[in-house]
Amino acid sequence: MVAEQILDRALGQLHARALVAIARADDQIGLEEGARLQQRIEQRLGGPVALDDLLLAEPLEPHRLAESLRGAEPFRHATLHPGDAVMIITDGIAVVLAKGYVSEAEAHEIVRFARALGCPRDQVSQMFSRVAPWLASLV
């Protein structure tokens, strides 16, 4: 399955920073997570990314991502596109699962981003239930 590309470079950077925040939620990014993180970001942006620069950037808070996305396009002031949250959730889960499991801290961070982006609880729970049933209870 080919990931939908994010054509706007600024939005792509925000997406990448959100994935870094999710991967860092448990205070570590292992080799497997780092490789999957790089892969997912490059798929979304359609090219190579300097992961070191993203790791050195200030951590992105979920509400800041939501604020930035609301003002990204002229017609996005009132609501966010549902696909924004779905991409964060699916990519976040894929990145952290690279090590074989999702920590509670990582799951909470994914939920924080999903809620900030207006993703309904039942949709988040449904996406989590496909990965690990215990994650659905965190929503």
Q: Record the pTM.
A: 0.85
Distance, CA of 55 to CA of 62 (rounded, Å): 17
C-alpha closest to that of 114 among 133, 132, 137, 92: 92
- Cα–Cα distance, 107 to 58 (Å, whole number): 21
Domain count, the chain: 1
Q: Is the pLDDT of residue 75 over 50?
A: no
Nearest C-alpha neighbor of 45 from the set 22, 14, 83, 80 = 14
Is 1 part of any domain?
no
19 close to 37: Cβ distance less than 8 angstroms: yes
Q: Is residue 2 part of a domain?
A: no
Tell whether 103 is covered by a domain. Answer: yes
Residue 78: pLDDT band (50, 70, 90) is very low
Nearest to 124 by CA among 133, 112, 111: 111
Residue 26: inside a domain, yes or no? yes
Exposed e or buried b for every residue in 58-76, given b needs 16+ CB within 10 A? Answer: eebebebbbeebeebeeee
Give me the domain span that covers residue 122: 9-136
38 part of a folded domain: yes
pLDDT of amino acid 77: 43
Question: The tokens of 82 are what?
Answer: 């549902």
Answer whether residue 3 is part of any domain: no
pLDDT digit string (tens) for 79-126? 446 577 888 988 999 999 999 888 889 989 998 999 899 888 788 778
User: Is residue 4, in this structure, part of any structural domain at all?
Assistant: no
Give domain status of residue 113, yes or no.
yes
pLDDT of residue 81: 61
**Type of residue at 78:** A
